[in-house]
Amino acid sequence: MRQPQRQRRSIAIVPGVLLAIAFALAAVAELPEREDGHRPLRANPPAESPSAEPAESFTGYPGAPDLTVVSRLDKLTWHPCSNCHSAMPTNPERRELMAPHQAALDHGDGRIWCLDCHAPESRDQLATLAGERVSFDQADRVCAQCHADVHQDWTFGVHGKRVGRWQGPREIYSCAHCHDPHDPGLRPRAPEPPPPVRAGLDPMPHHGHHTPLYPWFSEESAEPVQPGQESKNEEDAAG
């Protein structure tokens, strides 16, 4: 009995495919090792455990200008904290606090706790993740651990507020001057009133924008006009 032609072709192709796969595997096995240092991902050694050594302390940004941070120690109502905490054992449990502290911290979506920033054994100081003890006047070093981008902008003068003169040594407010560390989000505020008019002068009349932001903007209607309609608007205005 004769086999169909399509079936005979399939039987003839199978040995050829198997032979090609065998040659390919042999060629891969004989490839020399790469000289550029790369190796298969699964051949990489397992990652080493993090070092138990303390983290390196922050030493500043390259090229940062000199600055002086305005002290706020004399503005703290309950400082020094050791007035009360020196006679109280440290309780690391996350819990609702009593006055004069806030009942709960609105900072970090509940991930931040008091002892993440305050030194447990030295309540008159703050603590960095590297184990350093810093003054309340150096609170920016603690803030920078989570807000590095904003802290860098603050250091170079893009963020924050400068006091004194624009020229000469820079004296700036600390993060905690504007942001409550326990509730740092700033709420919307109404704008300040305009400055008063100097004696002997009349208030300047308000005529809106003298120069439109876009050439196709109609000041009469105060509505945007599509490009190409300028000439039509001029004809309507003329008559």
> Is residue 12 classed as helix, strand or coil in its secondary structure?
helix
How far apart CA 76 and CA 223 sit, in angstroms, is: 52
Find the helix or strand (DSSP H, E) in which 150 lies. Answer: helix 148-156
- Using pLDDT thresholds of 50, 70 and 90, give the confidence band for residue 164: confident
Q: What is the mean pLDDT of residues 177-204?
A: 87
Residues 7-40: tens digit of each pLDDT = 555 555 556 656 666 555 554 445 556 566 666 6
Q: Which residues contact 133 (CB under 8 A, 6 or more apart)?
A: 119, 122, 125, 126, 127
> Could you tell me the pTM of the whole model?
0.56
How far apart CA 63 and CA 65 sit, in angstroms, is: 6
Task: State the chain's mean pLDDT as an integer.
Answer: 76
The position carrying tokens 């704008």 is: 191
**CB neighbourhood size of 42 (10 A):** 5
Residues 132-143: tens digit of each pLDDT = 999 999 999 999
Q: Distances in Å between the alpha carbon of 24 and those of 13, 15, 134, 215?
A: 17, 14, 64, 68
The position carrying tokens 């040995």 is: 15
Q: Is the Cβ–Cβ distance between 216 and 224 less than 8 Å?
A: yes
Residues 81-127: tens digit of each pLDDT = 998 888 888 888 888 888 888 877 888 877 888 888 999 989 899 99
Residues 47-61: tens digit of each pLDDT = 777 677 766 777 789
| Selection from 141, 179, 152, 153 nearest residue 57 by Cα | 141
Amino acid 217: pLDDT: 47
Amino acid 22: pLDDT: 59
The position carrying tokens 């000469």 is: 168
Amino acid 34: pLDDT: 58
- Using pLDDT thresholds of 50, 70 and 90, give the confidence band for residue 222: very low
Q: What is the mean pLDDT of residues 183-189?
A: 87
How far apart CA 217 and CA 77 sit, in angstroms, is: 55
Q: Is 8 or 171 the better-scoring residue by pLDDT?
A: 171
| Selection from 161, 174, 157 nearest residue 63 by Cα | 157
How far apart CA 179 and CA 146 sit, in angstroms, is: 14
Q: Is the Cβ–Cβ distance between 154 and 172 less than 8 Å?
A: yes
Q: Is 166 or 47 the better-scoring residue by pLDDT?
A: 166
How far apart CA 159 and CA 161 sit, in angstroms, is: 7
How far apart CA 9 and CA 12 sit, in angstroms, is: 5
How far apart CA 60 and CA 108 sit, in angstroms, is: 24
> Would you call the peptide bond into 80 cis, given omega within 30 degrees of 0 as the criterion?
yes
- Percent of the chain past pLDDT 90, that is, above it, reads 25
